Structure 1
């Protein structure tokens, strides 16, 4: 039943995104780690907005806060704000070319990173380093690949 409805494959994609956020990578690449949770959520918000909404984004954001060890709710707030823009404009973004989508993804993730930084700065007096924005670039580079993989995954498991 869960597989037929597409719920299990959908949940599996969230788990994979969370694992990729904490999976060990070489130290010199750590600053470039893409924002997997944001990209996966943006994809699902564009592809099936009637099934993935604000509640899903909030839960994923809080799970990411716990997983990353950030102040509870900071990551969730950033994700909720980009989810609003994605849900508001999903039909337009869906019709963009892959290059245009990549630019939109970059802007959304940049906005989320700046919001999370501002909240961390306000709550924990975090210092800004330019390396904090490297995931924006790596996410943009990986978006076309992720989009194509996720679309194939959605079609294979009939997630609607």
Structure 2
């Protein structure tokens, strides 16, 4: 039981490290939120293990690591994971490309909620470039999905 959770935590930790790894400034605005994508995968594949509480804790860690207002990503991760976990049976029946379109919608919701909360708290303004990670996240989803599915099947994570 705990072995399975350890493998899930390891994949989230790797995505957290990749999310915090510096990129050249020209590519920074295209970086998808890998932690959210990994948690979305696990909430669709294993909703009994990865749920809203898991997403809230991951969002809190991201908030602390990035120095953003505490609770913004916790709240937005929880909202997105609530939607994916409550509809996991429907999402599983879609092809990977259809799932990528849904993931793009979920990421757009996430980024718009993060913007709205940051606008409320920090008085920032919207720029269209703010939504580039939605496109890159949707393009990354099929590869991430196939990689994590292979990982889950290889280690028999249930």
2:13 pairs, out of 12, 15, 23, with 15
Q: After superposition, what is the alpha-carbon deviation per residue over 1:55-104, rounded to whole angstroms, capped at 9, x for unaligned?
A: 11110010011111110000111111111110111100011011110000
Q: CA RMSD in A?
A: 1.0
SS of the counterpart of 1:6?
A: helix
2:39 pairs, out of 31, 38, 41, with 41
Aligned pairs (5 A) from 1:105-144: 105-144=103-142
Tell me the equivalent position of 2:152: 154
**How far apart in 1 are the matches of 2:130 and 2:39?**
20
**How far apart in 2 are the matches of 1:137 and 1:97?**
18
Tell me the equivalent position of 2:61: 63
Tell me the equivalent position of 1:145: 143
The aligned length equals 158
Once the two structures are TM-superposed, the CA of residue 7 in structure 1 deviates from its matched residue by 2.0
Moved over 6 A (4+): none
TM-score, structure 2 as length reference:
0.97
Once the two structures are TM-superposed, the CA of residue 34 in structure 1 deviates from its matched residue by 1.0
Unaligned runs of 5+ in 1: none
TM-score, structure 1 as length reference:
0.95
Unaligned runs of 5+ in 2: none
